[in-house]
Structure 1
Amino acid sequence: MSRQTESPPPDHVEQRRSQWRRELPEVDTIGMAVLGRARLATILARGPIERVFARHGLDTGEFDVVSTLLRSGPPYRLRPTELYNALMISSGGLTDRLNRLQKAGLIARRRSEEDARSLLVELTAKGRAVAEAAFREDMALEAQLLEGLTQEERYRLAALLARLVAVVTERSAGQDRDLDRP
């Protein structure tokens, strides 16, 4: 039997679905099968990924900051507002991260040349090296985690998850609008 058609052994999500089929057989639990497994995969991958960041002296939140700065391209600098919008965190949460990263010498805060009242957050040479090394190691680990899937399956799964996120985003926005109505 090929890898593409093999059924994985039953997991705890399938056990729960089986229990629900017994108790409420008319309820479709495919959402649990998809979203439950996506959540489980994320939870299982989180520890190894966090250990990668820790080897580089970072926690996940700090990695998010330095990687956002790195992928912004030269000169690897953003306004704090751009950072916290990109990271979807509060300005207070960002300030704590920036303080730790500055103390570690991974970022510098500089006055904006266009607006003296504004600070820019800039990746230092050390920060760039750490961010790049951590990202490379993280991507190697994530590739290893996906080795059980063929390349075609990886790309198909990525495309399906992107589509799922778009649908969930659209539906969530619609539900939020419905809650705002009197």
Structure 2
Amino acid sequence: MPEHPDHVARIQAEWARERPDLDVSPQGVIGRLHRLAGHLTEQLCVVYRRYGLGEGEFDVLATLRRAGPPFERAPGELARFTMVTTGAMTKRLDRLERDGLVTRRPSTADGRGRVVALTTAGRELIDRAFTDHMANEHRLLAALDADQASQLEGLLRTWLADVEEPDPS
């Protein structure tokens, strides 16, 4: 055990003492990833709040922006891309529309469908916010050198592919 064990190592040591019959080694990875995810989310949200956005609103604006011109998608597509229910998407869109960042209109391809589009203000906001977001992500990864970051990315890609449903598209 390291000279100064981290939170997860202390938990593992306690379990090893109390339940030596169980292999608690997965906690070394899962526990640290879980704790790291919480810290990362907290640090990412600092940037979103700077632009008056929550994590969900940032995600919607980013999804519309990376769609390319004319920066629009159907609400169902947005829900799939952002992995939320259509009800949660409606709440996000209501707020973004109220703030003048998106518009909703009937679809020209399907009279029953709707289309959500970035406004000019929405595009300008997400371009500024995304620039700061990427600088923040670079800062958060600075503890790893390029080789370590690349190796970690590959490991996470492999693991995620095993636990996520394949993308139907």
TM-score by length of 2: 0.90
Q: What letter matches 1:83 in structure 2? A: L
- CA pair 158-128 structure 1, distance change in 2 beyond 3 A: same
- CA pair 140-70 structure 1, distance change in 2 beyond 3 A: same
Aligned partner of residue 112 in structure 2, secondary structure: coil
Q: What letter matches 2:155 in structure 1? A: L
Aligned partner of residue 84 in structure 2, secondary structure: coil
Partner residue of 2:63?
68
1:103 is the counterpart of 2:98 = yes
Partner residue of 1:39?
34
Residues 40-59 of structure 1 aligned to structure 2 (within 5 Å): 40-59=35-54
Partner residue of 1:176?
none
Q: Deviations over 1:59-111 (max 9, x none)?
A: 11111110111111111100011111111211111111001000111101122
Aligned partner of residue 29 in structure 2, secondary structure: helix
- 1:91 pairs with one of 86, 96, 100: 86
Partner residue of 1:17?
12
How far apart, CA to CA, are the structure 2 residues paired with 1:143 and 1:8? 29
Aligned partner of residue 164 in structure 2, secondary structure: helix
- 1:114 pairs with one of 86, 89, 109: 109
Structure 1 residue 30 displacement after superposition: 2.3
How far apart, CA to CA, are the structure 1 residues paired with 2:22 and 2:164? 24
Q: What letter matches 2:51 in structure 1? A: H
TM-score by length of 1: 0.84
* Number of corresponding residues: 165
- CA pair 168-26 structure 1, distance change in 2 beyond 3 A: farther
Structure 1 residue ranges, 4+ long, deviating more than 3 angstroms after superposition: none
Partner residue of 2:157?
162
Partner residue of 1:4?
none
- 1:77 pairs with one of 72, 97, 100: 72
Pairwise CA RMSD: 1.8
| Unaligned ranges ≥5, structure 1 | 1-6, 174-182
How far apart, CA to CA, are the structure 2 residues paired with 1:32 and 1:168? 17
How far apart, CA to CA, are the structure 1 residues paired with 2:138 and 2:20? 38
How far apart, CA to CA, are the structure 2 residues paired with 1:65 and 1:143? 22
Partner residue of 2:137?
142
Identity of aligned residues (%): 38
How far apart, CA to CA, are the structure 2 residues paired with 1:77 and 1:124? 10
